[in-house]
Structure 1
Amino acid sequence: MAQITDGRTTVVFSTVESENPNRSSEVTSNPVETGEDVADHVKSNPTRFPITGLIVGPDAAQKLSQIDSFRRSGAILTYIGRNLIQNVVIKSFNSTHDSDVANGFRFSIELEQVRIAVKKTVNIILPGSVPPTQVKPVENKGRQQPKKKPADPQTIDRLIATARGKVNNTIA
């Protein structure tokens, strides 16, 4: 017997006529100068899970109310039937009440699998609560002359070689 549950409340379906899991992905592609397009990214879409069936019996109205309550509240559910699918919400729910089904109704329900974000707490130190760092006060040392660094011997050799090459090129 197929059922959906939120862990506290369970609704058992009288009959499930079909389960049609739909798993799809989106592929992005970009054109290139020659040849075929190049695919560079694949994104998995949420699994959609349409179900059709019947609910009959003296508690059919109560089950209808509970399914609609699951839908309105966005409850995270588990479906157990021919397939098992966890972390689903009811995306749509339709019921048909006609003379073909006595003491109940036909239904179609679409479940969609959701990913649940996990909250995390992070402590942040505010700028006002950080102790000030110790910095030497600015002093006036008067006008300063820049200190020249001695040239690197490799740099001197490279400049001389470049100058010789230019001189030799102009003489020739």
Structure 2
Amino acid sequence: MAKVDSHYILVEQESPNFDVDITTQPVEKDIDMMDHVQRKARTMGITGVVAGSGASKVLAYLKKASDSGQIVKYVGRMAFTGIISGLATGHTNQIANGFTITFTMTEVRVATSSFAEKLPTPVKAQAIKIVNSGVKQTKTKTKSKTKTKTKTTTKTKTKTKTKSKEPVTKVKFKPGSPWS
């Protein structure tokens, strides 16, 4: 018996896959030169049977986890953490209260937050780039359906006051501190 999170599955076969990308360059004689190897995400194919009174709950959980991209933990002959893809079920007359199941788990790496988030506020102001998109003009429609011969023009000047921001002072830390 194996478990996906807390749901039991009778697993018949686990097929782990350890692929890599190899960059090759053609040469005039002999075989191509290989100059770079990069690891791909690990995958594992799982085939098995889900049977019993809770089979529909297990299927509903696996569908939800697959559709939402939820990271699940699989523990069987091997332990694997990843997302479920390629979920397929088979419903035959050989299994009365369940179904056969086949799916692939793919390894996932979750990005962590930037180190700038952990900095003190004065230093964070210096580390993060300030983006200013400037002043934007709005378009107004001034089309009239009736024609008039008199033209009126008005000119108005508006003054806008800009708030002056306090300058950010640079902070100096002691040598050996994490932010020096």
TM-score (norm 1): 0.67
Q: 2:46 aligns with which of 51, 54, 66?
A: 51
The runs of at least 4 aligned residues of structure 1 exceeding 6 Å deviation read none
State the Cα distance separating 1:72 from its structure 2 match. 1.0
State how far apart, in whole Å, the 2-side matches of 1:22 and 1:131 are.
Answer: 52
Tell me which residue corresponds to 2:77: 82
2:8 matched to 1:12?
Answer: yes
- Per-residue deviation, 1:69: 0.8
SS at match of 2:59: helix
User: Is the CA contact 1:3–1:80 (under 8 Å) kept in the aligned structure 2?
Assistant: yes
Q: Hey, which of these two has a bigger chunk of helix by percent? A: 1
Amino acid at match of 1:55: V
Alpha-carbon distance in 2 for matches of 1:40, 1:129? 53
Residue in structure 2 matched with residue 116 of structure 1 by the alignment: 110
Q: Which residue of 2 aligns with 1:149?
A: none
> Which amino acid is the alignment partner of residue 23 of structure 2?
T
- Give matches, 1:16-165, under 5 Å: 16-86=11-81, 88-120=82-114, 122=116, 123=124, 124=128, 126=130, 130=167
Give the C-alpha shift of residue 91 in structure 1. 1.1
- Relative to 1, partners in 2 of residues 1:131 and 1:55: Cα closer, same or farther, differing over 3 Å? closer
What residue number does 2:141 align with? none
Judge conservation of contact 1:3–1:79 (CA < 8 Å) in 2. Answer: yes
Matched residues in 1 for 2:43 and 2:93: separation?
A: 30
Query: 1:52 & 1:84 partners in 2: Cα distance?
Result: 15
Q: How many residues are treated as equivalent by the alignment?
A: 126
Percent of matched pairs sharing the same residue: 29
Q: Which amino acid aligns with 2:107?
A: Q
Aligned to 2:153: none
Return the offset for 1:81. 0.1
RMSD: 2.1
The residue aligned with 2:2 is 2
The two structures have a TM-score, normalised by structure 2, of 0.64
CA-CA distance at 1:21 after TM superposition: 0.3
Unaligned runs of 5+ in 2: 117-123, 132-164, 170-180
CA offset digits 1:138-157 (Å, max 9, x no partner): xxxxxxxxxxxxxxxxxxxx
Cα–Cα, structure 1 residues 65 and 131, in superposed 2: closer, same or farther, change >3 Å? closer
Q: Aligned with 1:27: secondary structure?
A: strand
